[in-house]
Amino acid sequence: MQRSNMASSSSSSWEGPPILVGGDYCGLSATFDLKGELIPIPERLVPESLIAWGQAPTAFEILVSEDVVDPRFRKWTRQTLTILPETGCGIDHLETIKKEIDIESHCFWKDENKTTQQALYQDGEASWRLETIFGWVPNHRVCMSVGVTKNKNKKGRLDLQSPIIIQLERQIATDSSEGSRADKGLDGRTIHEWMGDVLRKSESFATEPPVMNQLNTATNNKLIGYPQNLTLSSKRIDDDKLVVEMGQVWPEEQVHHVVRRTFSSIDDYFIESQTETLDTIE
């Protein structure tokens, strides 16, 4: 497996905020397609009264626990509790859907300034998820992930696949609870408290238009804009290599922080991070 921890920059000396890893998080999670359009929460998971009154949420509330569970083999585990929307008395007895994934630590990559982290892990028999974590405001982070699959009709060529998942997360503990925070019951008041001011003000983030839908950077790439100033683009080199760029824009600083992964195959890739100066934002 080929990897690199190279970090390079263009004309900007700006450094992003450090990322958080490990511990427990409370957050918001929304899904999008490859064009940047919001994928609504399935109606079967939303109370009919919220739909009838036009108050169906556009993002799930989530709890995330992540930890190194096997120091000898250095395996990470992440347990995500997706909290189902409720109304009335149901708010005092929230239901959750639990998902656990194990990630070998060698699948993680960090840039040298520890301002981004990327992981590639299997998510099904023939699919993977490529995830990038960016720093945000203090005690918070932003996560973006996209599906990667092998195209059976084109000799296993790699393609991107929706959904794109964007999560805004606030760290509520530095030690992992191993996904046990809902074991004795969960209520809306507790979630409201764990969310904190920043996330409570971001509950509608999934429907807010990106700062840009098309971004011209110093490298002259066309990128799809997503909420929270995130970007995604992909291109092919010689029809067999897939280049995926996941980025975070800081408009006031006029910079675009990018993690670029060039796939020759799912197990053969090259990673680099770069801070680009923005030319224009359309």
From 70-79, 115-124, 163-172, 261-270, the region with the lowest mean pLDDT = 70-79
Whole-number pLDDT of residue 193: 96
Residue with tokens 């010689």: 238
d(CA 182, CA 4): 39
User: Is 150 within the bounds of a domain?
Assistant: yes
Residue 237 belongs to some domain of the structure: no
The answer for residues whose C-beta is within 8 angstroms of residue 144's C-beta and 6 or more apart is 131, 132, 134, 164, 165, 166, 167, 226, 230, 232, 246
167-177 pLDDT tens trace: 999 999 999 99
Instruction: Please determine, for residue 221, whether its predicted confidence score (pLDDT) is greater than 50.
Output: yes
Q: Is the pLDDT of residue 200 over 70?
A: yes
Whether residue 253 is contained in a domain is answered as: no
Is there a domain that residue 212 lies in? no
Whether residue 169 is contained in a domain is answered as: yes
Is residue 75 domain-resident?
yes
Answer yes or no: is 257 within a domain. no
Confidence class for position 215, pLDDT limits 50, 70, 90: low
Contact 116, 104 (CB under 8 A): no
On whether the pTM is more than 0.75, the answer is yes
Total count of domains within the chain: 1
Residue 194 inside a domain? The answer is: yes
Domain range for 25 is 6-205
What per-residue confidence (pLDDT) applies to 125?
67
| Tens digit of each residue's pLDDT (9 = 90 or more) over 4-28 | 434 343 445 778 899 998 999 999 9
pLDDT digits (tens, 9 = 90+) for 107-160: 888 888 888 999 999 887 668 999 999 999 999 999 999 999 988 777 778 999
Instruction: Give pairs for 18-21: CB < 8 Å, separation 24+.
Output: 18/113, 18/114, 18/115, 18/135, 19/110, 19/114, 19/115, 19/116, 19/117, 19/133, 19/134, 19/135, 19/141, 20/135, 20/139, 20/140, 20/141, 20/169, 20/171, 21/66, 21/117, 21/133
